[in-house]
């Protein structure tokens, strides 16, 4: 599924109107009918009363059409139209005319009139602004937004919560805080940003029959990695293969007090299909590995130069670096050595990223198509200056192109920026994964998939999706609060099976 800009969404509407063809008022009717159908299917029409707040643009027209369709269910509906001093869009006017013939109470909120009291049993539908917003909500509409937010009532926004920008940050401007957003046809970028989650609540995408031929004429700014895409990436494991066919990975991880991170990454690497794994750890902590994970070989280092311990790196298909590594002099020396010595794509996470942020020029030496997996704070150290999720996302895209690396900006919808300029949002995972160790598991998965033989682009799309799917499977077994990083590892096999059955 594509993620489109506000301008592309408007262009898709126009293309559909011109090429199906379909009158714009009928397209609006489709949108309203899809909303009401969703409310009916989900048993939300049996409310005591609906209050629908409408602006005078097409989003307000959607609200008026929804009011008319709800009235057919014999539900009490009150419509509140915010007066702005102009007539409104033609489709708004036409839907207002249709509504005047029905027993729906219409209130016009004048400049000087008070806002209505909202009884606690009322379900609020927000149809004030929508995706056409091109400047922050201000004046009377901003006052109404803040007024609605004062009430504890459930709020459903149509298309986008009023005040929310589609393609740029809304913070700190006023915005409706919806529990649910019924949006049309495709995701908007705003509905994938963590900073906006208090406003959009749960996003629901409704198909309103926009002409799919339009998508062939545009380049979407972002895409969603879905099950169909990831299933197509999966490669069968040949029946007559042996361990050497699936790559030998090296994992540089662990330090005093942080060997758990190394164990998690190593287990996840092997669960993801690597044929062989060597884990490189400090000598003083080396006893942990054969006990915790006998399937991995281990190599140890003390204070000697890296080249004395590991002169030959060519035998490795890939290297994962970072989980629990620490940032002492030894860790810095090893990271610098491996980046200069090993020229195939590698995976860099956690302390490897923190070290990169403090050694000038080291980022430029990373092998092309390596995968960097920062969480937002780690990314801010790598690329200082971003003040919101949109700026961080754009900076990740620029960094990926500049250094020819793949950046996974981790979050609920992890953002994946490719060296060629394409970018994806991941669609799997949940809050059960918000615990220490989850990122170490992802590092292991990505390292394992690279060793297994997937290209870096394939490995990152498959790996991030697989990681999120494992989290969903684990949460179904253990509950959202109780999932551990080890549960993610134990669910990787089930995640593969689920993808293979798609």
Angstrom distance (rounded) from CA 82 to CA 60: 9
> Which of 247, 246, 292 lies closest to 265 in space, CA to CA?
292
What's the chain's Rg over C-alpha atoms?
26
Question: Residue 1 — pLDDT band, cuts 50, 70, 90?
Answer: confident
HEC readout, 364-404: HHCCCCCEECCCHHHHHHHCCCCCCHHHHHHHHHHHHHHHC
CB 80 within 8 A of CB 113: no
Helix, strand and coil percent figures for the chain, each rounded to 5: 45, 15, 40
Structure tokens belonging to residue 79: 């419509």
Angstrom distance (rounded) from CA 484 to CA 308: 38
Region 231-254: mean pLDDT is: 94
Q: What percent of the chain has pLDDT over 90?
A: 92
Question: Residue 247 — pLDDT band, cuts 50, 70, 90?
Answer: very high
Q: What is the pLDDT of residue 352?
A: 98
Q: What is the pLDDT of residue 56?
A: 96
Q: What percent of the chain has pLDDT over 70?
A: 100
The angle formed by the CA atoms of residues 326, 327 and 331, to the nearest 5 degrees, is 85
Region 124-131: mean pLDDT is: 95
Residue 48, phi then psi, degrees to nearest 5: -65, -40
Q: What is the pLDDT of residue 134?
A: 87
Q: What is the pLDDT of residue 378?
A: 96
DSSP state of 217: G
Region 372-387: mean pLDDT is: 96
DSSP string, 157-212: EESS-TT--SSS--TTS-----SEEEEESSEEGGGG-GGGHHHH-EEEEE-----G
> Residue 273 above 80 pLDDT?
yes
pLDDT digits (tens, 9 = 90+) for 192-216: 999 999 999 999 999 999 999 999 9
Angstrom distance (rounded) from CA 387 to CA 366: 26
Q: What is the pLDDT of residue 499?
A: 95
> Residue 294 above 80 pLDDT?
yes
Question: Residue 46 — pLDDT band, cuts 50, 70, 90?
Answer: confident
Comparison of pLDDT for 139 and 290, the residue scoring more: 139
Domains of the chain: 2-220 (3.40.50.10260), 227-500 (3.40.1190.20)
Region 353-379: mean pLDDT is: 96
Burial of 498 (0-12, 13-18, 19+ CB in 10 A): middle
> Which of 134, 137, 215 lies closest to 172 in space, CA to CA?
137
Output the average pLDDT for the chain.
96
* Residue 394 Cα to chain centre, angstroms: 14
Region 1-17: mean pLDDT is: 95
Helix (H) or strand (E) holding 69: helix 58-71
Region 232-250: mean pLDDT is: 93
Question: Residue 86 — pLDDT band, cuts 50, 70, 90?
Answer: confident
Angstrom distance (rounded) from CA 427 to CA 404: 24
Within 10 angstroms of residue 451's Cβ, the number of other Cβ atoms is 28
DSSP, collapsed to helix, strand or coil, labels residue 462 as: helix
Alpha helices in 404-455 (DSSP H): 438-452
- Name 423's bridge partners: 417
> Residue 47 above 80 pLDDT?
no
């Amino acid at each position: 599924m594509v993620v489109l800009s506000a301008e592309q969404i408007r262009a898709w509407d126009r293309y559909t109107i011109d090429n199906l063809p379909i009158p714009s008022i009928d397209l609006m009717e489709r949108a309203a009918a899809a909303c009401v159908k969703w409310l009916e299917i989900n048993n939300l029409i049996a409310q005591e009363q609906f209050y629908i707040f409408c602006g005078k643009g097409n989003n307000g027209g959607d609200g008026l059409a929804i009011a008319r369709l709800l009235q057919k269910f014999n539900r009490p509906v009150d419509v509140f139209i915010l007066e702005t001093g102009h007539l409104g869009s033609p489709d708004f006017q036409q839907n207002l005319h249709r509504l005047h013939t029905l027993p729906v109470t219409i209130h016009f909120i004048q400049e000087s009139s008070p806002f209505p009291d909202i009884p606690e049993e009322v379900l609020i539908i927000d149809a004030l602004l929508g995706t056409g917003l091109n400047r922050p909500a201000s004046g009377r509409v901003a006052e109404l937004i803040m007024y609605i937010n004062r009430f504890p009532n459930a709020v459903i926004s149509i298309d986008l919560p009023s005040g929310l920008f589609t393609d740029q940050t809304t913070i700190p401007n006023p915005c409706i805080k919806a529990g649910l957003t019924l949006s049309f046809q495709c995701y908007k970028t705003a509905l994938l940003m963590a900073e906006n989650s208090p406003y959009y609540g749960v996003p629901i995408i409704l198909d309103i029959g926009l002409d799919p031929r339009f998508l062939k004429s545009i380049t979407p700014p972002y895409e969603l990695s879905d099950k169909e895409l990831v299933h197509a990436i999966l490669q069968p494991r040949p029946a007559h293969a042996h361990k050497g066919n699936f790559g030998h990975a090296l994992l540089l991880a662990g330090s005093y007090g942080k060997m758990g991170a190394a164990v998690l990454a190593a287990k996840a690497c092997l669960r993801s299909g690597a044929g062989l794994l060597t884990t490189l750890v400090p000598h003083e902590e080396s006893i942990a590995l054969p006990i915790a994970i006998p399937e991995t070989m281990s190599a140890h280092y003390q204070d000697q130069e890296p080249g004395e311990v590991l002169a030959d790196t060519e035998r490795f298909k890939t290297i994962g670096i970072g989980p629990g590594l620490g940032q002492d002099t030894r860790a810095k020396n090893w990271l610098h050595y491996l980046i200069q010595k090993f020229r195939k794509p590698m995976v860099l996470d956690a302390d490897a990223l923190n070290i990169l942020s403090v050694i000038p020029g080291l980022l430029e030496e990373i092998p092309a198509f390596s995968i960097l997996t920062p969480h937002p704070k780690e990314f801010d150290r790598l690329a200082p200056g971003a003040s919101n999720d949109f700026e961080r996302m754009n900076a990740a895209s620029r960094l990926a192109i500049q250094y020819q690396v793949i950046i996974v900006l981790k979050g609920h919808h992890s953002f994946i920026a490719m060296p060629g300029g394409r970018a994806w949002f991941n669609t799997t995972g949940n809050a059960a994964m918000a615990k220490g160790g989850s990122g170490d598991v992802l590092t292991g998965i990505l390292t394992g998939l690279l060793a297994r033989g997937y290209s870096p682009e394939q490995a990152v799309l498959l790996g991030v999706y697989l990681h999120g799917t494992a989290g969903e499977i684990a949460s179904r077994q253990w509950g959202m609060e109780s999932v551990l990083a080890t549960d993610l590892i134990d669910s990787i096999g089930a995640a593969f099976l689920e993808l293979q059955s798609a």
